[in-house]
Amino acid sequence: MSDMSDAELMALFRKEDTRHYAFNLIVRAYQKRLYAFVRRMVTDPDETQDVLQNVFLKAWTGLERFREDAQLYSWLYRIAHNESITHLKRMKRGLFVSESSVIERLTTTLDSSEHFNGDIIQKKLQKAVMTLPTKQRAVFTMKYFEEMKYEQMSTITGTSVGALKASYHIAVKKIEAHLTRPDQTM
């Protein structure tokens, strides 16, 4: 991971001869954190890679217009957030199915994936997260797993802090209800 600041990375990016080098450093600096978020949203490892590639491709084309008063990580996270939601919507449209069918598919992916090594309670938590509507799932992931501040979440999602707090509160209650439900199979 590069020790350069966002300003230094952007200064390198703006020079024609170091543009690709700078972008490579940016990818290396932020890929792990963005991957974790996209993976929690999309679940499937191959689809996560596709979405993340699209995120960085969009970043490449949009980085020229990036305002340096904003945080580069927040800006990239915003693209990742939008791309994940777009991917899930496209999945729903592609399958011509309801939200519950998409959830079922994601859950099946989780069950069959050799890339999930959580215990029973972790799997149950992930399945509970998947039952949340797409945007609420993003809010829960950002707050619960990433421990992001509401102000930063507001910048990323374009939603007010009050609405985010309410959404998170509802999501937590839904997940708690899911976790304590005795009839749920794991």
Partner 1 sequence: MNTRPEHEDLKPLAPTLASIPKVDPFVVPDGLFERFPHQVQARVTTHVPGLRWSPWVKRLALALPVVAVLAGAWWMLRSTDAPVEQVAVVIPETTVDELELLDDPEALASLYASEGAGVASANVDLTEDELAAWLETEQTDLSQLITEL
Binding site for partner 1 (CB under 8 A): 20, 23-24, 27-28, 31-32, 35-36, 39-40, 45, 49, 52-53, 56-57, 60-61, 114-119, 121-123, 125-126, 144-145, 147, 169, 172-173, 175-176, 179-180
Residue 96 φ/ψ region, left for φ over 0, alpha for ψ in the -120 to 50 degree band, beta for the rest: left
Contact between 80 and 52 under an 8 Å Cβ cutoff? The reply is yes
Q: Report the C-alpha gap between 117 and 182 in whole angstroms.
A: 23
Q: How far apart are the first and last CA of the chain?
A: 38
**Cβ neighbours, 10 Å, residue 183:** 4
List the structure tokens of 56.
């960085």
For residues 89 and 115, which CB has a smaller minimum distance to partner 1 in the complex?
A: 115
Tell the smallest beta-carbon distance from residue 96 to partner 1 (Å). Answer: 27
For residues 52 and 102, which CB has a smaller minimum distance to partner 1 in the complex?
A: 52
For residues 63 and 102, which CB has a smaller minimum distance to partner 1 in the complex?
A: 63
Tell the smallest beta-carbon distance from residue 57 to partner 1 (Å). Answer: 6
Tell the smallest beta-carbon distance from residue 56 to partner 1 (Å). Answer: 5
